Amino acid sequence: MQKKDIGLAILVLTVAAAVAALNPRFLSPINLANTANLIGLFGLFSIAEAFVIVTAGIELSVGSVIALLGVLFVDMIVNQGIPWPIAMVVVLVLGAVIGLLHGLLVTRLKLQPFVVTLCGLLIYRGIARFYTADGTAGFSFGDEFPWLEWLVSGRTSGVPHSIIAFSVVAAFSWLLLHRTVFGRHLYAVGKNEEAARFSGIKTTRVIIAAYIICAVLTALSAIFFAMYTRSIHPASHGNFYELYAIAAAVLGGFSLRGGEGSIVGVVLGVILLQVLQNLVNLLGIPSSLNFAVMGGVILIGVIADTQFARYRSARRQAAALASLRTIAGTRAD
Amino acid sequence: MRPPIDLALSRITKVYPGVVALQHVSLNIRGGEIVGLIGENGAGKSTLMKVLGGTIAPDGGAIAIDGESYDALTPSEATTHGIAFVHQELNTFANIDVAGNILLGREVASSAFRLLDQQAMTREVRPILDLLGARFRPVDSVADLSLAEQQILEIAKALSMKARLVIFDEPTSSLTLSETERLLDVMRQLKADGVAVLFISHRLPEIESVVDRAIVLRDGKNAGELARDEITKDRMVEMMIGRNIGRNKHHHVPARSEPALRIVGVKTDAYPSIPVDLTLYAGEILGLAGLVGAGRSELARAVFGVDARHAGEVTLNGESLAPNSVAASIEAGLCLVPENRKEEGLILDFAVLDNISLPNLGKLRQGWFVDRRAEARLGAVSTEMLAIKASTLQGAVSSLSGGNQQKVVLAKWLATDPKVIIMDEPTRGIDVGAKGEVYSLMRSLADRGVAILMISSDMEEVIGVSDRVAVMSAGRVTGILPPEDLTEQNILRLAVG
């Protein structure tokens, strides 16, 4: 674990302890399970976002993709009568196609990731609303998909399956980012694309792969959210989720300039954001202040991080100077 | 017009730790004359110009402008006295129009809301453009101007600041022949208007055609001055060198077996119409000399596959190399130690170990995963072999000295087990001790049969290290010198074209 991650973990524990002390209901099994469920749901697409951010890119269409693919998924299994495993595969493949498209636009046409995915944000949201004629896609009374429901929104001895899925994805992502050759290439491309190219890394492929991974994980998350809300209003479903994901990644130590951050960090970032949300609910803070609390904490966290880094480097320099002086002193004697 | 300038630098000295950049250098210039300033790379021209521009303070000597004497100038004093620079790199803004560029920071604005007064700016700029015979208008977009026109724009900017001395620092190296002619005409025009022109150029024919006298620097000292009728290319080359570099005892002609690297008819981005041929034999160090802008680095990049190769073929030990693929080049046994260590050679924030393993991950993998033990072994072996001084291999490579950073670059490439290494300025910015280590490493690699193509602008290095030297000028290979002809004079003659 990096030093940054340890600092963040301490922050998460402190906030959690404070909430628990102020309202013991925080530790009730029901509240813990609910919070865990939300961590799982929001964590999936936050990890997705991290893959793109590490390449110095950004993915703004996360929320819209969750809405569009969620609508399509529900429509396929409810109205078109397509078996849900097939619908699931179709949704994941569609995700991959969206990711590939974004990756190609960014690498081949050299468009800025911000612009490409901003257009995606608008386009997918628009299609989702058009597809349902701005209505709601949901399950009618009597629609039952027991296996699917158990798999996606069920619990095993109290543990929501969403957080199990999140843990599995996080573990695989950790291996992929921190232990594989591909992961090393991702960090290299994000930090210095030119030097990576000089080292024989096929930077275009690496970047496209990052967008595909991101979009496929987002598609997976779309299925979980569809089954969680059970009724999708495409005008608002998934709104702002991309910003939530970016916030979690930034809290977790990812730099928007690329090449930095760890999966442990983004996981902790997701947990912190959910605990904060929980704090707002449990401490009776008006829920309208929700975003303000989140924004404030992120800002404080980022300021503390940079100040601490500056303090550390100043201390290192002072130590180096002092040791130089000692050497000079002993020489003079 | 302000009265003509009368400027004299006398006995200017500038010492850097370990290097005397300038030693008692004198130079004088008056309004209405064009003075050429020539010398090899590292002769002290740029340091002297920085003294004139006020960006560095000399350690000794005096600067006299119109009879007023200074120990050192500040940048604003230099500007006030009318000293202006036209650099090789342009400082124009493509998103602002011509008038706005010329008056940048001195815009004419209405008194009320500080709105830009376009008409007043046009009025102010037009006579200057007319004086220079510019074929563009104040309202034109800078993005549409050619390189030469942008250079004229820079001159206009200098004149708008009432410049009395315009210093041209290698202005022609990126210009075409006819553009160069126009620029030289502008210089003559400035001279006729009483402005002093100081012209720094590697291109001796241009110096010959335009200057009234030429001042030659060598190793940070005045090497002499040539009056108008004494200026010939031979005299200038002779003065620029003035010394005989001892030949390296290493020189040995390796047995010409098969060529290791064969470049046939390769065209690059920089000179898309000029095909280049070059052959490199196993076990030799081939120096590639030439002046800045001769197209050497561009050739290296195209051969390695970082830049597009527009035509031609590259064969490595008889096998043809796929174009535009760095991965294929590395696979075949070719590598490039790039000119720009900090941007292209290394990922500065990455750990030493991660930098070394980056191009070698293909060999260090177990399935999908990086074999971290093998990686650590590679790091240990590399640091030991190259004597890299780093307290830990996990620390960022940016914390190492220049010499050690360069060794990390070499380590990462040597681990790929190359048969041909292209080194672009392999010792730039590193200290003398590390230089020696790099040279002996190169020699031992060559002795083991590796072929090395060394691009270098350091004449001593080219002559001291190479077995043969190829010289490029304006995109062409103008000659290949065998060991017996390796003299500075011969190289320079081929390099100035």
CATH classification at residue B399? 3.40.50.300
> How would DSSP label each residue in B147-214?
HHHHHHHHHHHHHHTT-SEEEEESTTTT--HHHHHHHHHHHHHHHHTT-EEEEE-S-HHHHHHH-SEE
Looking at the fold, whether B172 and B293 belong to one and the same domain comes out as no
Average pLDDT, chain A: 91
Instruction: State how far the Cα of A314 lies from the Cα of B87, in Å rounded to an integer.
Output: 38
**Residue A122 maps to a domain:** yes
Q: What is the pLDDT of residue B1?
A: 59
What residue type is assigned to position A81 of the chain? G
Q: Given an 8 Å threshold on Cβ–Cβ distance, is B326 in contact with A199?
A: yes
**Residue A117 maps to a domain:** yes
Cross-strand pairs, A243: none
Count structural domains, chain B: 2
What residue type is assigned to position A109 of the chain? L
Instruction: Report which DSSP code applies to A24.
Output: G
**Residue B100 maps to a domain:** no
Per the model's pLDDT, the better-predicted residue between A301 and A161 turns out to be A161
The nearest CA of chain A is from the CA of B93 a distance in Å of 22
Provide the percentage of residues in chain B whose pLDDT is more than 70.
Answer: 95
Domain that holds residue B372: 259-495
**Residue B37 maps to a domain:** yes
Tens-place pLDDT, residues A306-315: 888 788 778 8
Domain that holds residue A124: 3-285
Examine the fold and report which residue of B241, B275, B306 is the final residue of a domain before the chain moves on: B241
**Residue A315 maps to a domain:** no
Could you identify the residue written with the tokens 């995700």? A95
Is residue B242 over pLDDT 80?
no
**Residue A313 maps to a domain:** no
Q: Given an 8 Å threshold on Cβ–Cβ distance, is A200 in contact with B336?
A: no
Nearest to B347 among A181, A191, A202 (CB): A191
ipTM confidence: 0.81
**Residue A297 maps to a domain:** no
Strands B476-481 and B468-473: antiparallel
**Residue B116 maps to a domain:** no
B104's CB contacts (< 8 A; 6+ apart) are B93, B96, B157
Per the model's pLDDT, the better-predicted residue between B391 and B261 turns out to be B261
Q: What is the pLDDT of residue A328?
A: 58
Chain A residue with minimum CA distance to B359: A199
Instruction: State how far the Cα of A196 lies from the Cα of B464, in Å rounded to an integer.
Output: 33
Q: Given an 8 Å threshold on Cβ–Cβ distance, is B343 in contact with A181?
A: no
Is residue A217 over pLDDT 80?
yes
**Residue A38 maps to a domain:** yes
| Count of other CB atoms within 10 angstroms of residue B258 | 9
Looking at the fold, whether B422 and B295 belong to one and the same domain comes out as yes
Identify from A198, A203, A255 which residue to disrupt to test chain B contact, counting B C-beta atoms within 10 A and taking the largest count: A198
Looking at the fold, whether B200 and B294 belong to one and the same domain comes out as no
Examine the fold and report which residue of B177, B208, B241 is the final residue of a domain before the chain moves on: B241
Where does residue B149 fall: left (phi above 0), alpha (psi -120 to 50 degrees), or beta otherwise?
A: alpha
* Stretch 61-80 of chain A: residues touching chain B, C-beta under 8 Å: none
Looking at the fold, whether B403 and B466 belong to one and the same domain comes out as yes
Which whole number is the average pLDDT over B436-460? 90
- Kindly compute the dihedral angle of the four CA atoms of residues B227, B231, B235, B236, in this order, to the nearest 10 degrees: 90
Nearest to B336 among A175, A194, A198 (CB): A198
Which whole number is the average pLDDT over B49-78? 91
Nearest to B368 among A181, A194, A200 (CB): A181
| Count of other CB atoms within 10 angstroms of residue B292 | 12
Looking at the fold, whether B226 and B269 belong to one and the same domain comes out as no
**Residue B74 maps to a domain:** yes
Tens-place pLDDT, residues B17-40: 667 889 999 999 999 999 999 987
Q: Which of chain A's residues have a Cβ under 8 Å away from the Cβ of B365?
A: 181
Is residue B196 over pLDDT 60?
yes
Is residue A333 over pLDDT 50?
no
Q: Given an 8 Å threshold on Cβ–Cβ distance, is A198 in contact with B365?
A: no
**Residue B41 maps to a domain:** yes
Per the model's pLDDT, the better-predicted residue between A221 and B135 turns out to be A221
Looking at the fold, whether B412 and B372 belong to one and the same domain comes out as yes
Q: Which of chain A's residues have a Cβ under 8 Å away from the Cβ of B368?
A: 180-182
Count structural domains, chain A: 1
Examine the fold and report which residue of B241, B276, B305 is the final residue of a domain before the chain moves on: B241
Q: Which of chain B's residues have a Cβ under 8 Å away from the Cβ of A184?
A: 354, 357-358, 361, 370
Looking at the fold, whether B266 and B226 belong to one and the same domain comes out as no
Q: Given an 8 Å threshold on Cβ–Cβ distance, is B346 in contact with A195?
A: yes
**Residue A306 maps to a domain:** no
The nearest CA of chain A is from the CA of B467 a distance in Å of 27
Looking at the fold, whether B49 and B86 belong to one and the same domain comes out as yes
Which whole number is the average pLDDT over B172-178? 71
Provide the percentage of residues in chain A whose pLDDT is more than 70.
Answer: 96
Based on its alpha-carbon atoms, the radius of gyration of chain B, rounded to whole angstroms, reads 25
Chain A residue with minimum CA distance to B372: A179
Cross-strand pairs, B35: B198, B213
pLDDT classification of A304: cutoffs 50, 70, 90: confident
Instruction: State how far the Cα of B304 lies from the Cα of B327, in Å rounded to an integer.
Output: 9
A238 reaches B (C-beta below 8 A):
no
Of B75-89, B251-265, B412-426, give the lowest mean pLDDT range: B251-265
CATH number for A162: 1.10.3470
Which whole number is the average pLDDT over A307-328? 74
Looking at the fold, whether B231 and B267 belong to one and the same domain comes out as no
Structural contact between residues B27 and B52, judged by C-beta atoms closer than 8 angstroms: no
Q: Given an 8 Å threshold on Cβ–Cβ distance, is B369 in contact with A195?
A: no
Distance of CA B297 to the CA centre of its chain: 10
